Amino acid sequence: MSAPAAAVVAVADASAGLPATDAQTASAVRVVTVTAGQAVRAMAATATDADSRASEPTHRITTLDSGVRVITERVPGVRSVALGFLMANGSCDEQESEAGTSHLLEHMLFRGTESFGSQEIDEIFDAMGAEINAGTDKEATSLYTRVLDGHLERAFEVMAEMVWQPRFGELEAEREVVLEEIAMYEDDPQDRVFELLDRAIFENHPLGRPVIGTAEVIGAVTREQLSAFHTEHYVPPRVVIAAAGSLDHDALVEMARASIPSSGSGQGASPKEISHAAATAPDFRPRERFFEKDTEQYHVCIGGAGLARDDKRRFALRVLEGILGGTSSSRLFQEIRERRGLAYSVFSFSNMYARTGEVGIYVGTRPENLAEAMQIVADELAHCVDDPASEQELERSRENLKGRMVLGLESTGARMGRLGAATLNDMPILSAGDVIERIDAVGLAEIREIASELFAVEHLSLAGVGPDEQHFQAAIEPLRAAGLSDAGGQAAGA
């Protein structure tokens, strides 16, 4: 299970009515992943409000007596169904001593149920020509698949048992798998730098902890502790069942009602009640983190506080992001990669959570190019604040965002993820036409306000991974000259 995640687990973005960005670094995926950079290559497309509303299927939602919410959307002309179980449980719901338990529990869903063995689950979905996958992020866990409509009932039966009645078998084997996954991430400097940035931005807040957890916790957790964690967090009011495609809503509701065991019908705690630590406001003072590692490149992230998923300015942020570094025609991509060849990977990103968010920039470059790349980042951040968008840039970014959103909705998986995420997070489900209206309404004044608030260098934290901290410190002098706080570096793991 690795990050960045597929769109299904980009819960914050889906519920916000926006397509996922390049760097959704928070969640972990079992099989299929989307690498940074793929999303920004999507072709832009336009759609009128009338056209999008006329062609858009309607959704239905039913809340069961148990508290489970079932939301569906019938999509004409397809033979597949995308089905997902979304649980309001992520790394933010953990205590420090539980770090990684949500992620390990997600793995253990595949290790057998009361009726189905671990290998049998794989064989069932292979026989359907389907993949079953799962992901954990900071605020949610999801289990999802896409099957032919004739296989929906069987797929639902198996997935429901995985969610409600895991037997936590083969724990030692899966523990080793997760420990290998942690080691894999620790070996990957790009994954490590995003982890460091989260720690720099959020410090000791739950959002600053890696979703994957720590080897110490994973190595010690017991079957009894996992079972107790499941009992506390996987309760009906915290579960949404979402589906899109060739389906009947009422039939799915009956499947859901029949699947919930009597022992799982308690009310439990709501997402807002259970995340006490996550409800506190982070301390966003600028910080710096560096991890010394023998790498060919320096991997650098600079970022800070962003917007919550329900902030009305989220559309303006994504438009600005497309101008700064979220597309192949963006300022950072053109200046650093296309004109100077200083990096293969450079992009801006944002993540939106329930009460706050983060923005950032990533660049990976060789030691001899680091100083020049940092000078350009400093210059472009200043440019972003002083002159965030020309009319041409604004129009191009708006059209890009609309195009990615509309094209994404041609996928039943994306539709399912959008419905489930919005319902899980108590967000309104915006039609494509509604989203297009909000994107079109973004103007220069709003862009300028967002740029000044979020991308002023003096408000940002810094994270780096590379072979020599002294070289790194010398290379980031242009950022310090531009106003980056000299917060003092702290070694990773210190």
pLDDT digits (tens, 9 = 90+) for 289-307: 999 999 999 999 999 999 9
Is the dihedral angle over the CA atoms 109, 115, 119, 125 positive or is it negative? negative
Same domain flag for 248 and 305: no
| The pLDDT of residue 42 | 30
Same domain flag for 220 and 309: no
Same domain flag for 272 and 412: no
Walk across the sheet containing 59-63 and list its strands. Answer: 28-29, 132-136, 141-148, 80-87, 239-245, 69-74, 59-63
Which among 73, 94, 96, 106 is annotated as catalytic?
Answer: 106
The Cα 357–Cα 341 span in angstroms is 31
- 446 annotated active-site: no
pLDDT tens-place string over residues 62-77: 999 999 999 999 999 9
Longest CA span, the chain: 63
Counted domains in the chain: 2
Q: Where are the alpha helices (DSSP H) in 128-204?
A: 152-164, 171-187, 189-202
The answer to pTM > 0.75 is yes
The CATH code of the domain that includes 138 is: 3.30.830.10
Provide DSSP, 70-97: EEEEE-TT--EEEEEEEES--GGGS-GG
Same domain flag for 123 and 202: yes
pLDDT tens-place string over residues 156-202: 999 999 999 999 989 999 999 999 999 999 999 999 999 999 999 99
Its domain, for residue 334, covers 288-491
| The pLDDT of residue 14 | 60
Q: Which of 224, 248, 277 is the last residue of a domain?
A: 277
Same domain flag for 238 and 269: yes
| The pLDDT of residue 314 | 97
Residues of the chain under the 50 pLDDT cut: 1-12, 22-54, 264-266, 271-272, 274, 493-494
The Cα 491–Cα 8 span in angstroms is 34
| The pLDDT of residue 113 | 96
Same domain flag for 267 and 317: no
Same domain flag for 273 and 396: no
Backbone angles phi, psi at 365, to 5 degrees: -155, 160
Cβ pair 2, 184 in contact under 8 A: yes
Same domain flag for 35 and 122: yes
Same domain flag for 145 and 96: yes
| The pLDDT of residue 382 | 97
| The pLDDT of residue 10 | 45
Same domain flag for 329 and 193: no
